[in-house]
């Protein structure tokens, strides 16, 4: 029995993780749950899965939950409550599914507490890849990727020598605007961005997918997960979302992992590895899938992708800056303060105004994130 703590249990990945738990009652137990402010859904999860502890980072949401729930699960609140879930003594594995930079601190705490990590929160590695991977090595814990693309790479690398790696081909659906021209994106709405053609995801990730910022974040994540130089990580548009990523080797062989567009499959593999468990989820039918196509991304139009890759190559605190600027830009777009194309423009302004420094501590990352958000907010205000 593997006992897991889920950071972000009420989000898209968190709820699907609990579907996996429910499908594997003899193998998985939800020992602890943490969410932001969805007290209604968290209460339902508590009553169904009976974790020993649960937390809401929003104190008012936690107060509401305590007023209704009087059962055995301990209800905690605030950032320290989330930290308690991340380091829960009953859990041996922590699934990190919090949205954005907020997932970094509890993930580091979980690693330092000796927990194995199933990582869906890519921003953790984007903002502080060197710190996180050093912590994993020092603690001697296991880190398995949850993102479908990184799970595919992870699987395609099994049984092969790292020295034989030629390229990682990181697939992307292209989002809802693939093939569009700049003039067609001038007045894109939030609703159009959220209409993803193949995946059902949370709001932030879906917006990132529409700008291709998500793929930029994943390139940086792949760099840290697989110890691969950026020159060997190549984004490729694959509209069908059947091939989740590929690995090319020095002899020309290309290994690919294929599957249905269902996050429950990589979630389960991250929790079952090195074993594979039978599943009752969607299965791939290649005949019904039809033709599979691949082409290069339009990096002239979707500027967030090359900006992320360049930030990763530059290194230091610049990937953290990219992530912070993107989070502020997405929030501003959702609030109607900037345009869709303004997301990448804002990121580029913040990166241009930033001099990166080496990452030598968690405090360095905190300061870089703070400064980037301040710069980004200032640029948003200038747009008003």
- The full set of domain ranges for the chain reads 2-141, 198-208+300-384
Residue 198: the pLDDT is: 78
What is the mean predicted confidence (pLDDT) over 259-265? 93
What is the mean predicted confidence (pLDDT) over 143-164? 97
Count other C-beta atoms under 10 Å from residue 12's C-beta: 20
Between CA 320 and CA 248 the distance in angstroms is 29
Q: Which CATH number fits domain 198-208+300-384: 1.10.1740.10, 1.10.3720.10, 3.40.50.2000, 2.40.30.10?
A: 1.10.1740.10
pLDDT (tens digit, 9 = 90+) per residue, 304-361?
A: 999 999 999 999 999 999 999 999 999 999 999 999 999 999 999 999 999 999 999 9
Task: Give percent above pLDDT 70 in the chain.
Answer: 100
Mean pLDDT of the chain: 96
3-state secondary structure of 317: coil
Between CA 126 and CA 132 the distance in angstroms is 10
Between CA 263 and CA 272 the distance in angstroms is 14
Residue 383: the pLDDT is: 78
pLDDT class for 144, splitting at 50, 70, 90? very high
What is the mean predicted confidence (pLDDT) over 135-158? 97
What is the mean predicted confidence (pLDDT) over 233-254? 97
Residue 82: the pLDDT is: 97
3-state secondary structure of 7: strand
Residue 200: the pLDDT is: 74
DSSP state letter for 295: B
Residue 116: the pLDDT is: 98
Which CATH superfamily, name and number, covers 2-141?
NAD(P)-binding Rossmann-like Domain (3.40.50.720)
Residue 356: the pLDDT is: 97
pLDDT (tens digit, 9 = 90+) per residue, 32-57?
A: 999 999 999 999 999 999 999 999 99
Between CA 328 and CA 234 the distance in angstroms is 27
pLDDT class for 115, splitting at 50, 70, 90? very high
pLDDT (tens digit, 9 = 90+) per residue, 283-308?
A: 899 999 999 999 999 999 999 999 99
Q: Which residue has the tokens 């992870």?
A: 154
Cβ neighbors of 70 (< 8 A, separation 6 or more) are none
pLDDT over 80 at 199, yes or no: no
Between CA 20 and CA 244 the distance in angstroms is 20
pLDDT (tens digit, 9 = 90+) per residue, 82-113?
A: 999 999 999 999 999 998 889 999 999 999 99
Residue 282: the pLDDT is: 82
């Amino acid at each position: 029995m593997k006992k897991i703590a889920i950071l972000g249990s009420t989000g898209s990945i968190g709820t699907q993780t609990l579907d996996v738990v429910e499908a594997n009652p003899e193998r998985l137990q939800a020992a602890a749950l943490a969410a932001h402010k969805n007290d209604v859904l968290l209460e339902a999860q508590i009553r169904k899965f009976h974790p020993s502890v649960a937390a809401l980072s929003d104190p008012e949401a936690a107060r509401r939950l305590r007023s209704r729930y009087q059962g055995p699960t301990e209800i905690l609140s605030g950032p320290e409550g989330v930290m308690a879930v991340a380091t829960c003594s009953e859990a041996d594995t922590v699934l990190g599914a919090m949205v954005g930079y907020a997932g970094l601190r509890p993930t580091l705490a979980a690693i330092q507490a000796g927990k194995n990590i199933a990582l869906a929160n890519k921003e953790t590695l984007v903002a502080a890849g060197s710190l996180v991977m050093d912590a994993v090595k020092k603690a001697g814990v296991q880190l398995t990727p949850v993102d479908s693309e990184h799970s595919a790479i992870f699987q395609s690398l099994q049984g092969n020598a790292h020295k034989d790696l030629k390229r990682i081909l990181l697939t992307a659906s292209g989002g809802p605007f693939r093939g569009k021209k700049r003039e067609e994106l001038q007045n894109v709405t939030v609703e159009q961005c959220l209409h993803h053609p193949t995946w059902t995801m949370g709001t932030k990730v879906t917006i990132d997918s529409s700008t291709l910022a998500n793929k930029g974040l994943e390139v940086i994540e792949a760099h840290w997960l697989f110890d691969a130089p950026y020159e060997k990580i190549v984004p490729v548009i694959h509209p069908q979302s059947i091939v989740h990523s590929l690995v090319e080797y020095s002899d020309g062989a290309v290994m690919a992992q294929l599957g249905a567009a269902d996050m429950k499959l990589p979630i389960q593999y991250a929790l079952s590895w090195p074993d594979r468990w039978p599943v009752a989820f969607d299965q791939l039918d290649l005949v019904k899938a039809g033709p599979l196509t691949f082409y290069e991304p339009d990096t002239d139009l979707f500027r967030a992708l090359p900006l992320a890759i360049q930030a990763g190559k530059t290194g230091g605190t610049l990937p953290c800056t990219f992530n912070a600027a993107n989070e502020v830009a997405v929030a501003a777009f959702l609030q109607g303060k900037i345009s869709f194309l303004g997301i990448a423009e804002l990121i580029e302004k913040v990166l241009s105004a930033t001099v990166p420094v080496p990452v030598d501590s968690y405090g360095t990352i905190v300061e870089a994130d703070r400064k980037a958000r301040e710069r980004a907010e200032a640029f948003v205000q200038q747009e008003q």
